[in-house]
Chain A
């Protein structure tokens, strides 16, 4: 017994000292798009790990124990917020035993604080499905919001790692100049669709559609998070036939059957849009993600 205890102590001790402090700032991002922004602004001064897979439903992330190991070593945690992570992130933070990323600590950055949310409900009841009481959390699909949150990320990186301030400042300026130029490009491409009607499967592209000036006339989910019912599908077919519709927008992770059915019945084009970096092969970073969204809508 004694021997075993000594061996355990030696192993623990070794683990302790092998964790020699690395020079790079360790950042954990909940989603890929955040990870990519951190990479762009942090450059080679940061080491970024994104937890959720880009091709999966951002609401339902399996809280793998390996996330705890990643969180344990983080200097900074950057999250989407707006309760998108409520179902999986809190126990990961709690079990990681890392005071740096506890809620309320300077090492936790919640991007939702920096944008203006849409669809903030006045009354909240779960009879309306999986409602987000703080408003729609999928804000990153409005390209203007990307500018706001990149600035927040830049400021946070400078706050926790002021030694590399210049690096973060320069990278941010370079990125935001490029981004502003891309916004003009995407705006031009989306111009013909302004004022056109659109139907989504889930309300996850609202920010993009608002930005592009398109009109959302409904979702195939009767209420957020509840799969389509026959009754609601037939109702939406009626709505589409009555009002006219440009696209039926679907995501990469839900079953395509309901959207395809409505598309076949109405003759309206179904478009599968990536929602995050890594959702489709073409979306390798935040810029190509938006390039791909615009390409799929305008082709």
Chain B
């Protein structure tokens, strides 16, 4: 309720100048109103599975039961339950601050929360092709991470992103420096120094884990996360090739609620990513595109607390994870209004060792997705999507199931530019 109140104040603060001062007012500020856009996303879902949602399911070695939503913020999960879903709404503001900065904000709204997904300034005047971003933003790691949900080709983010970074992706407070090379083909290099609060791979706080102990644990140093990325692109006629390599490395501190009780992971993780996109433009509207991203994660550290093989209470064990996954998607926009696409998600490596002993966790977990979408204008989209899931476990057993959803995505206000 409080959040809705804040939203109301925010919107009225933005609109007030436009309403109160008509033309002829010498103090009119109307022309300084930032570019505003608003997006809504709703869907209807059915899955051939008993139960209302997938609560209690897990992805062994990646996400625990109760955390299969990737530690999402309250209510921000897409297609959470059978039936109607209000997936999210998004309010974005963009304006040039002064000759030196641009400001971009994006608020993520769900039925009962109002969150700052992104708020950052970006420099306008740095020389030699440099740009600095300061604030909270979606990391430029990989191809997919920085894209907003309404531009995705499928309704959910790729599985490998889900398990490594959570459903909100790598979205952190910090700074980014990037550089565009002054050469005839596209090459950009960048690095980010981030707080390191990602729920799935990184973290700096041990939270309350040792609160009833003798102050045993230690919070990690901050900032806890460093990313590096390089992207390059060439055109061969109407074929556009874009490739990138990315790295994210930092501290990991995360408290998990397992089936046997609470345990803490502490150590450090490194994620390497490799992506390539081929897009062939058939004419002004039609294209074929093939996009794939492979990611590998290495965690080295220790596990403390209650966990199946190490007993109860304050036990400690060395713990390593060596995991990888990829997705490949094929999109065909076969007319101005229609697109179809298929995606394969796969987690191909899942080696978890406790005190040097391999846990023998399952691998080759998969998801197949197909979709058709209809985009009558640039401001509305209707999408029918089918997923066949072979990655969720319940009480140790793999549950295969299909799900079908029908999604409506609407945007109003400022005209968003099309991402590549």
Given the contacts A69-B187, A73-B182, A98 and B240 also touching, CB distance less than 8 Å? no
Q: How far is the CA of A18 from the CA of B184 in the complex (A)?
A: 11
User: In the complex the two chains form, is A104's CB within 8 Å of B99's CB?
Assistant: yes
Residue numbers in B under 8 Å from A292 (CB-CB): none
- B window 206-247: CB within 8 A of A: 231, 233-235, 240, 242
- B417–A87 contact, CB under 8 A? yes
CA distance A130 to B230 in the complex (A): 36
Q: A12-B189, A104-B96 are in contact. Are A88 and B418 (CB under 8 A)?
A: yes
B181 at the interface (CB under 8 A from A): yes
Complex Cα gap A99–B178 (Å)? 14
Q: Is A234 an interface residue (CB 8 A)?
A: no
Known contacts A62-B287, A65-B420, A66-B186: A72-B129 contact under CB 8 Å? yes
What is the bound-complex CA distance between A232 and B284, given in angstroms?
Answer: 24
CA distance A89 to B281 in the complex (A): 18
Which of A19, A57, A97, A253 has the most B CB atoms < 10 Å from its CB? A97
A99 to B96, CA, bound (A): 13
Shortest distance from the beta carbon of B274 to any chain A beta carbon, whole Å: 16
B99 CB contacts on chain A under 8 angstroms: 104
CB contact between A63 and one of B185, B376, B419 (< 8 Å): that residue:
B419
Q: Is A261 an interface residue (CB 8 A)?
A: no
Q: Mark B166-205, 1 if CB is under 8 A from A, else 0.
A: 0000000000001111111111110000000000000000
Q: Which of B129, B234, B412, B417 contacts A98 (CB 8 A)?
A: B129
**A62 touching B180 in the complex, CB below 8 Å, given contacts A57-B285, A69-B185, A99-B127:** no
Interface residue range, chain B: 35 or more
Task: Flag if A253 contacts B231 (CB, 8 Å).
Answer: no
Complex Cα distance, B279 from A97, in Å, reads 24
Q: Contacting A56 at CB < 8 Å: which of B182, B283, B376?
A: B283
Nearest residue, chain B, Cβ from A65: B233
Structural contact, B186 and A94, CB atoms closer than 8 A: no
Total interface residues on A, CB under 8 Å, equals: 41
Given contacts A66-B185, A99-B125, contact A130 B377 (CB under 8 A): yes
The reply to whether the CB of A96 lies closer than 8 angstroms to some CB of chain B is yes
Contacts of A102 in B (CB 8 A): 124
* Distance (whole angstroms) from the CB of A14 to the closest CB of chain B: 10
Residue of B nearest to A5 (CB): B228
Q: Tell me the complex Cα distance, A36–B37, Å.
A: 36
Complex Cα distance, B131 from A231, in Å, reads: 52
- For residue B378, which residues in chain A have a CB less than 8 angstroms away from its CB? 87, 130
Contacts of B127 in A (CB 8 A): 99
**0/1 string, A73-102, CB within 8 A of B gives 1:** 100000000010011111100111111001
Q: When the two chains form their complex, are residues A63 and B125 in contact, meaning their CB atoms are under 8 A apart? A: no
- Tell me if B337 is interfacial: C-beta within 8 Å of chain A: yes
User: Please, what's the 1-or-0 string for A219-250, where 1 marks a CB less than 8 Å from any CB in chain B?
Assistant: 00000011100000000000000000000000
How far, in whole Å, are A72 and B130 apart by their CA atoms in the complex?
10
Q: Give min CB distance, B130 to chain A, whole Å.
A: 6
In the complex, the answer to whether B420 meets A97 with C-beta atoms within 8 Å is no
CB-CB under 8 A for A96 and B124, given A65-B233, A90-B417, A226-B377: no
- Interface pair B284/A69, CB less than 8 Å apart: no
Name the residue on A nearest B179 (C-beta). Answer: A97
- Residues of the B chain whose Cβ atoms lie less than 8 Å from the Cβ of A89: 417
Say yes or no for B401: interface residue by CB 8 A criterion. no
Q: Which residue of B lies closest to A252 (CB)?
A: B284
The answer on a CB contact under 8 Å between B180 and A19 is: no
Residue of A nearest to B287 (CB): A62
Pairwise interchain contact B124-A99, C-beta atoms closer than 8 A: yes
The residues of A that contact B182 with a CB separation of less than 8 Å are: 15-16, 19, 72-73
Q: Are A88 and B417 in contact (CB under 8 A)?
A: yes
Partner of A225, one of B188, B235, B377, B419: B377
Are A60 and B415 neighbours in the complex by a CB distance under 8 Å?
Answer: no
CB proximity of A287 to chain B, nearest CB, Å: 25
CA distance A104 to B315 in the complex (A): 62
Chain B residues with CB under 8 Å of A66's CB are: 185-186, 233-235, 240
Residue B336 CB within 8 A of the other chain: yes
Residues of A near B262 (CB, < 8 A) are none
Question: Which residue of chain B is the closest to A62 with respect to CB atoms?
Answer: B281
Contact check, A227 vs B336: say whether CB atoms are below 8 A apart. Answer: yes
Please give the distance in Å from A122's CB to the nearest CB on chain B: 14
Instruction: Give every chain A residue within 8 A of B394 (Cβ-Cβ).
Output: none
B240 touches A65 (CB 8 A): yes
Contact of B415 (CB < 8 Å), options: A12, A64, A87: A87
A28 in the interface, Cβ–Cβ < 8 Å? Answer: no
Q: A12-B189, A60-B284, A62-B240 are in contact. Are A69 and B420 (CB under 8 A)?
A: no
CA distance A268 to B240 in the complex (A): 41
User: In the complex, what residues of A have CB within 8 A of residue B417's CB?
Assistant: 63, 86-91
Q: How far is the CA of A90 from the CA of B183 in the complex (A)?
A: 21
Contacts A63-B418, A65-B233, A88-B418 given; does A56 touch B284 at CB 8 Å? yes
- Report the minimal beta-carbon distance from B419 to chain A, rounded to whole angstroms: 7
A28 CB, min distance to chain B CBs, angstroms: 13
Do residues A69 and B231 form an inter-chain contact, with CB atoms below 8 A? no
Is A126 located at the chain interface by the 8 A CB criterion? yes
**B379 is contacted by which of A56, A97, A126 (Cβ under 8 Å)?**
A126
> In the complex the two chains form, is A64's CB within 8 Å of B235's CB?
yes
**In this complex, what residue of B is CB-closest to A73?**
B182
Chain B residues near A57: list those with CB within 8 A. 284-285
CA distance A96 to B182 in the complex (A): 10
Nearest CB in chain B: distance from A167 CB, A: 26
- State the CA gap A227–B374 with chains docked (Å): 13
Whether a CB of chain A sits under 8 angstroms from the CB of B405 is no
Inter-chain contact A62/B420, CB cutoff 8 Å: yes
On whether the beta carbons of A95 and B180 are closer than 8 Å, the reply is yes
4 new A-B contacts at CB < 8 Å, known A89-B417, A97-B131: A12-B181, A65-B242, A95-B180, A96-B180
Cross-chain pairs A/B with CB under 8 angstroms, 5 sampled: A60-B285, A65-B420, A126-B379, A129-B377, A225-B377
Shortest 4 CB-CB contacts between residues of A and residues of B: A65-B233, A57-B284, A19-B182, A65-B186
